[in-house]
Amino acid sequence: MCAAAAQNPRWRLPLRRVRAQELWYNIGALEKLCTRLADKLCLFIATGCGLGLVAPFAPGTFGSLPGFALAFALARLGIGWQIAAALALAALAIPICTRAEKLLGLRDDGRIAADEWMLVPLGVIGLPLAGPGALPLWEVAIFFGVIRLVDIIKPPPAYALQRLKGGWGVVADDFAANLYSLGVNWALYLLI
């Protein structure tokens, strides 16, 4: 059959030269498609899986909900892994928030929640949220309430860190606020 196909002109595939200009056009189209997909993924992550976009009010609080699930997942790890994960998430949040600011066109847009949800685990490092000896849910709810309250209040010098440019300013103030939250949460844990 192959020999017959080779002899029959209907079975031959038309071979033509691809011009360099056409090849660059196709690569450019693929690059634009990848950029659009990357931008959509960035906005999805930056808005707390889209919750920051659809929240009727308090987009930062709604957008931080994925962070609570993340904190529960990380609570099963040892304290060293929790610290490493919290620092890695904070570092990852900087370029995501920088790109999201450019895409949304506003500085520290309220819809950007990556600084909240990616830093929630920092505010509960070492606390027994899950696993054996886990705290009751009402105590865990208090810890997460403290994280949101301190993030909204932003005691000094956390508030001043918002002046940094790009994603650094978006994330640095929340990083400092979550360090305050960590201290308050540990004090509450030891007192309760």
DSSP string, 127-166: ---SSTTPPPHHHHHHHHHHHHHHHHH--TTTGGGGGSSH
Euclidean distance between CA atoms 142 and 62, whole angstroms: 16
Whether the per-residue pLDDT at 11 is higher than 80: the answer is: no
The answer to whether 111 and 52 are in contact (CB under 8 A) is yes
Q: pLDDT (tens digit, 9 = 90+) per residue, 96-154?
A: 999 988 888 878 777 888 888 999 999 999 999 887 788 888 988 999 999 999 998 98
Euclidean distance between CA atoms 11 and 165, whole angstroms: 62
Residue 150 pLDDT:
93
**What is the pTM for the complete model shown?**
0.77
Whether the per-residue pLDDT at 90 is higher than 60: the answer is: yes
Q: Which residues of 144-182 are buried (b: 16+ CB within 10 A; e: fewer)?
A: bebbbebbeebeeebeebbeeebbbbbbbbbbbbbbbbb
Mean pLDDT, the chain, rounded, equals 83
Q: pLDDT (tens digit, 9 = 90+) per residue, 156-170?
A: 888 888 888 888 988
Residue 9 pLDDT:
54
Euclidean distance between CA atoms 169 and 158, whole angstroms: 10
Residue 188 pLDDT:
93
Model confidence at 174, pLDDT cuts 50, 70, 90, reads very high
Whether the per-residue pLDDT at 88 is higher than 90: the answer is: yes
How many Cβ atoms from other residues are within 10 Å of residue 37's Cβ?
10
Residue 180 pLDDT:
95
Domain boundaries, the chain: 22-191
Matching residue, tokens 């990848």:
34
